[in-house]
Amino acid sequence: MSEVLVASRAPGTDVSVPGAPGARQFWGRLRAQRAALAAGGVVALLVLVALAAPLFTAVEGQDPTTYHPGLVDSARGGVPVGPFGGVSGEHWLGVEPQTGRDLFARLVYGARVSLGVALAATVVQIVIGVVVGVAAALGTRWVDQLLSRFTDIIVAMPLMIMSLALLAVVPSSFPRPVLVALVIGLIAWGNIAKIVRAQTLTLKGLDHVAAARLSGWGGWRIARRELLPGLAAPVITYAAILIPQNITVEAALSFLGVGVKPPTPSWGQMLTAADVWYQAAPQYLLLPAGALFVTVLALTVLGDGVRTALDPRAASRLKVGTGRRRETRADKAARGSVGGGAEGSGERAPRGDAEGTSERDAAEAAERTAKRTAEDASVTGAAEGSGRSGGAGRPEGSGAAERGGAV
């Protein structure tokens, strides 16, 4: 995609539609958010570790499936031998209780499974959601109603219950990571379809889409040339939010025993076996749980940064690393100047929420206050001028005009 679309206001409406200022502005806005940059660095590091998992394990000299029974104490129930769960030069993060498998190897290979399943499920959700949403918006009334009701049914389905039911009946010979990605993607595409349909209906009313329709373009050509570029911003934003959700769902399914099966390593599957070892070998529980927490947090912060960069009018939900403190100080300074001008005329400036008010809102508040001040001054001057007009021999309201001009 050569251009990144940023929301703008459609002519004559209050509906936000995408514009196309280019990728340079998007990257500039994203670089201004330190939290998003840090989260992007963490995500890039996790992806690098997942892709280079065979290289890292080769350097360590271990693999995720080899058992080491000599490194666990069978007399104590399989507790790893040695300090910190068997940490040594050969096993960088220790070994797994009972089996003695290397924890570092299983952790980095588990990153491949968790991230791969989440990305594949997100792609399936986006493809189905975009196709259904565009077809509903461009189709006839009956097609729109049929697809919309079917989408409502998909949205109403409980994801975890349906996933448990489908994963339980599929033969174990089917590749489990692929199956988990397909199940998540085929059940959880309803929300993106609703978003795409609503945005497509908005874009249909624009002049360039109407001109393309009048020129004889077919529905597929209009969707490909005029609508899909306008749908890029909301789709990218929602995809950035879906990835951490899918990672959590995959971990939950593996934790419940219907997701990725041993010996294939997965963070959720590692947590399933670690729930009884949190006292004897706490690192066996803390390592996959910490990896899940850091990954989901980094992807969530990055998704918020992408959303804010694509739509600069939407304030970030974060308070750290997004420049909101600088905006808050600027808002306070603007409201302070407005309050000082209003006190001279006997009226306080309106106060708003420091975190939710932007510089534009402060400017509009200052303009409204100035107008109210001028109107009050005019009314007061008119009342005083009418009281003195008889003795002074001046036309009624002339004093009001002079005082209004002085104010």
Tens digit of each residue's pLDDT (9 = 90 or more) over 64-113: 999 998 899 888 888 888 888 889 888 899 999 988 999 999 999 999 99
DSSP code of residue 65: S
Phi, psi of 369, rounded to the nearest 5 degrees: -65, -40
Token pair recorded at residue 252: 């939950």
**Residue 362 domain boundaries:** 324-406
Residues in the chain: 407
What is residue 288's predicted lDDT score, i.e. its pLDDT? Answer: 92
Predicted confidence band of residue 359 (pLDDT cuts 50, 70, 90): low
More confident residue, 10 or 141: 141
Listed in sequence order, the DSSP H helices in 190-323 are 190-204, 207-214, 219-222, 228-255, 267-274, 283-310
Residues 87 and 142 in one domain: yes
pLDDT grade, residue 148 (50/70/90)?
Answer: very high
Asked if residue 226 and residue 354 are part of one domain, the reply reads no
* Same-domain pairing of 188 and 56: yes
CA dist 362 → 324, 325, 347, 355 (Å): 15, 16, 16, 12
Supply the angle between the helices 207-214 and 190-204 in degrees, to the nearest 10. Answer: 80
Summarize pLDDT for 230-279 with one digit per residue, the tens.
898 889 888 988 999 999 999 999 888 888 888 889 898 888 878 778 77
Q: Is residue 276 part of a domain?
A: yes
Confidence of residue 193 (pLDDT cuts 50, 70, 90): very high
pLDDT tens-digit series, residues 5-18: 444 444 444 444 44
What distances in angstroms separate CA 189 from CA 33, 54, 92, one per listed residue?
Answer: 30, 33, 40
| Residues 38 and 161 both lie in one domain | yes
Looking at 310, 343, 359, the residue that finishes a domain is: 310
Reply yes or no on whether the pLDDT at 198 is more than 90.
Answer: yes
Residue 143 lies in a domain: yes
**Quick one: which of 224, 227, 166 has its CA closest to 198?**
227
50 & 154 share domain: yes
Any domain includes 204: yes
In a domain? residue 80: yes
**325 confidence band (pLDDT: 50, 70, 90):** low
Number of domains in the chain: 2
Are 230 and 341 in the same domain? no
In a domain, 316, yes or no: no
Same domain flag for 229 and 286:
yes
pLDDT of residue 350: 45
Residue of 333 and 300 predicted with greater confidence: 300
Do 371 and 296 lie in a common domain? no
Q: Which of 61-70, 119-128, 354-363 has the highest mean pLDDT?
A: 119-128
399/294 same-domain check: no
Residue 355 lies in a domain: yes
For residues 366 and 368, give the distance between their C-alpha atoms in angstroms, rounded to a whole number.
6
Q: 345 with 255, same domain?
A: no
| CB 235, CB 196: distance < 8 Å | yes
pTM equals 0.69
Contact 197, 137 (CB under 8 A): yes
330 & 283 share domain: no
pLDDT value, residue 400: 42
Residue 318 lies in a domain: no
Share of the chain above pLDDT 90, in %: 35
Query: Domain check: are 246 and 107 in the same one?
Result: yes
The CATH number that applies at residue 26 is 1.10.3720.10
Name, in order, each residue with C-beta under 8 angstroms of 148's C-beta and a sequence gap of 6 or more: 136, 197
Q: Which of 310, 344, 366 is the last residue of a domain?
A: 310
Mean pLDDT over residues 357-363, rounded? 56
Residue 1 lies in a domain: no
With a pLDDT cut of 70, the percent of the chain lying above it is 71
